[in-house]
Amino acid sequence: MTLFIASLNSGSNGNCYYVGNQEEAVLIDAGLSCRETERRMRRMGLPLSRVRAIFISHEHDDHIRGLEVLSHRYQLPVYITQPTLDQCRFPPHQDLVRAFDPGAAITIGGLTIKALPKNHDASDPYSFTVASPTVCIGIFTDIGVVCDNLIRHFTQCHAAFLEANYDEDMLMKGRYPWPLKNRIRGGHGHLSNGQALELFLDYRPPFMSHLLLAHLSQDNNRPELVQQLFEDRAHGTTIIVASRHNESEVYAIDGAYHGIPGHAWTPEGNRKPAPAPAAAPPVSPAVAISAARRRKALAAGQSKPSSTQISLF
């Protein structure tokens, strides 16, 4: 079954992603105002009446800013964990709150949604996959590190929203204070262009037809830079940069594409083995004897006073 996907907005000023079939759809996050969400859905030709639920990844304002009004106006169930709800500045009405468990399948019409824990500086953050019986879409943003969970689910996706937040050089040479730079790149912040590219090159499934690069930093990245970086190595996958200013096109993902898998892709989504440490070069007997003699001489000399001190640093 074909799934239709779109980014309503992607960035620190607001995040909202649409995934659906011809009958029902879900929104992942609600970081735009209700009015702006309505406006962009109309421009894309997507009726809000098709949306059946909102799934919240974490409590940062750029993911929940429109949640309270949007969910109330359209009486949309909101799937959110209690730790996230406790920190939510724009909480939905309690009657609309639905809990979810990581890894458990939630069925909404012909859609199956699963949540997977991720590394981010929030109370209880999650990524999501949204699937039909034949097509799987991943929403992987606000991720501090490429973990086994991310690899396992990325390898199953026919299309994905994948964070490529910052260019390493631009971040390090930019105006951000060092604590913020370290927060961004410290394992619980965001994925760099290089980290996202390595994931794509290693674990891209042969059936991934579209990759939408998401949550680009306004200060530490450039759309044309990351577009070129991925297009040069796409091997047939369509690369789209999700804008922080406008909605994207609506993309139909039918599962028919077949291309070249990543270097380390497996159907099971296993992480590639870590490279073995380099073996130490063999020591010849003569060198070993010489070293032993030096150690013996040094030990003998330690009982004698010396006017020379040797620093080991």
* pLDDT tens column, 72-131: 999 999 999 999 999 999 999 999 999 999 999 999 999 999 999 999 999 999 999 999
Question: What pLDDT is attached to residue 128?
Answer: 98
CATH classification of 3-253 is 3.30.70.2190, yes or no?
Answer: no
49's CB contacts (< 8 A; 6+ apart) are 74
Q: How many CA atoms lie within 13 A of 39 on its CB side?
A: 8
Phi, psi of 219 (to 5 degrees): -95, -25
Q: What angle do CA 295, 303, 297 make, to 5 degrees?
A: 20
Query: In the structure encoding, which two tokens stand for residue 231, read together?
Result: 């297009």
Residues 6+ away with beta carbon under 8 Å from 66: 14, 16, 30, 31, 32, 33, 34, 36, 37, 90
The pLDDT tens digits for 37-77 are 999 999 999 999 999 999 999 999 999 999 999 999 999 99
Instruction: Please determine, for residue 288, whether its predicted confidence score (pLDDT) is greater than 70.
Output: no
Q: Model-level pTM?
A: 0.88
Residues 139 and 159: their CA atoms lie apart, in Å, by: 9
Average model confidence (pLDDT) for the chain?
A: 92
pLDDT at residue 301 in the model: 52
What mean pLDDT comes out for the span 140-149? Answer: 96
Over residues 5-20, the mean pLDDT reads 98
Q: Give the pLDDT of residue 200.
A: 98
Range with lowest mean pLDDT among 141-145, 218-222, 249-253, 286-290: 286-290
Asked whether the predicted pLDDT for residue 32 surpasses 90, the reply is yes
In the chain, where are the structural domains located? Answer: 3-253
CA distances from 102 to 81, 109, 110, 128 (A): 10, 20, 20, 10
pLDDT value for 310: 26
Which residues lie across from 251 on neighbouring strands? 5
For the chain, percent of residues with pLDDT exceeding 70:
88
Tell me which of 79-93, 202-216, 222-236, 291-305 is least confident: 291-305
pLDDT band at 276 (very low <50, low <70, confident <90, very high): confident
The pLDDT, as a whole number, for residue 306 is 39
